[in-house]
Amino acid sequence: MGEFDAVADAITGGVLGRAVEPKAGEGGGHTHEANCLNCGAPLLGPHCHQCGQHAHVHRSLGAFFHDFAHGVLHFEGKIWRTLPMLVWKPGELTRRYIDGQRANFVSPIALFLFCVFLMFAVMGWTGSLDTMAGKKSDEDLAAQVQQDKVKITQLEAGRAELVKEGRPTADIDKQLGDAKDDLSGVQNVQQLKAGKVNTSAIQVSNDLPHWVQKAAAKAGQNPELLFYKIKTNAYKFSWALIPISVPFIWLLFPFSRRFKLYDHTVFVTYSLCFMMLLLSFGTVVALVSGAIAGFLWFVPPIHMYRQLRGAYAVGVAGAIWRTLALTIFAWIAIGLFASLLVTIGALD
């Protein structure tokens, strides 16, 4: 069922994007009308000058599904003009959109909606979300327990040899302690899955605010439910990444009269679109080679640098220090967004 849910999520994203870009996918049709079928006004071109409806409409089942696929995947060809620029010339794309060149490009928010659902669809299909949650099968947990026990036995035997020889044991004691901690953690997960953990024994500091204590207690009682809520809320509140990030961009150009909050919002939204597309791509690549996927971590700073230079026309030095600052800001923004999701999930 997960594969079907993933496909449905991607389609939903395309439909939402089409809702924001209502003219997307309205190509040529099978009828030739003299008057608009919507308002009756005489037609003077491919669109009605009164209500804006396309002059030609489809009336066949095949055309209906063509429109559906076209609207979901093509955005009337705009997507194929937008994506190359988003990847290679993000600064130029940002600046051109801000300056009013809208007809050739998918709007930032329409592309953002599509990228959000595409990202979660890909991660759901590949099982990456379960991996992030630390979910393992009972067989995997049992195998991990056995490996940890073997490792502990070997370390204890090695320690006994060192003691017998009168040699220091500090290093092996540390390894032994780490191995025992790993074993304890895996066994706790096993007990949690089996419902044998006494969650009522979880203690929360009384020094924390009451709402934090309540959230922490609920999270401890059912961490898997908490993760499910976080995953669900990530869809609903993905837009929060935009207002969270915009103030950090403003800090790169404080009190600038030339660049307004609108400029920063377009910059942030297109940047987030690229990062989500990159994450989707990296998730698929990781299935083939984790080493190759690891190199993708070097891409975001390069993309930020190019987008800063093109969108704000800053010099090399200015773009470099702003890229370094923006990299730090990005991790802070992700942390704030994650904290928001955890809090909402725990209090829900």
Phi, psi of 211 (to 5 degrees): -65, -30
Largest CA distance in the chain: 101
Confidence grade of residue 277 (pLDDT, cut at 50, 70, 90): very high
pLDDT tens, position by position, 71-81: 555 555 788 88
Least confident of 117-121, 172-176, 344-348: 344-348
The C-alpha atoms of residue 306 and residue 320 are separated, in whole angstroms, by 10
Query: What mean pLDDT do residues 156-162 have?
Result: 88
The band of 316, judged by pLDDT with boundaries at 50, 70 and 90, is very high
pLDDT of residue 168: 86
Q: How far apart are CA 159 and CA 157, in angstroms?
A: 5
| Residues 15/72, Cβ–Cβ less than 8 Å | yes
DSSP secondary-structure letter at 137? -
pLDDT number for residue 24: 47
pLDDT at 220: 52
The pLDDT > 90 percentage for the chain reads 25
pLDDT tens sequence across 163-192: 888 888 888 888 888 888 777 766 766 565
CA 259, 262, 267, 272 dihedral sign is positive
Ranges 29-33, 111-115, 285-289, 336-340, most confident: 111-115
Tell me the average pLDDT across 300-327. 95
Task: Report the chain's mean pLDDT, rounded to a whole number.
Answer: 77
CB-neighbour burial class of residue 292 (10 A; exposed 0-12, middle 13-18, buried 19+): exposed
Residue-wise pLDDT for 9-18, tens only, equals: 555 565 565 5
Residues 6+ apart with CB under 8 A from 36: 42, 43, 48, 50, 51, 53, 55
Tell me what the mean pLDDT of segment 207-222 comes to: 52
Residue 201: pLDDT band (50, 70, 90) is: very low
pLDDT at 73: 54
Backbone angles phi, psi at 171, to 5 degrees: -65, -45
Per the model's pLDDT, the better-predicted residue between 166 and 221 turns out to be 166
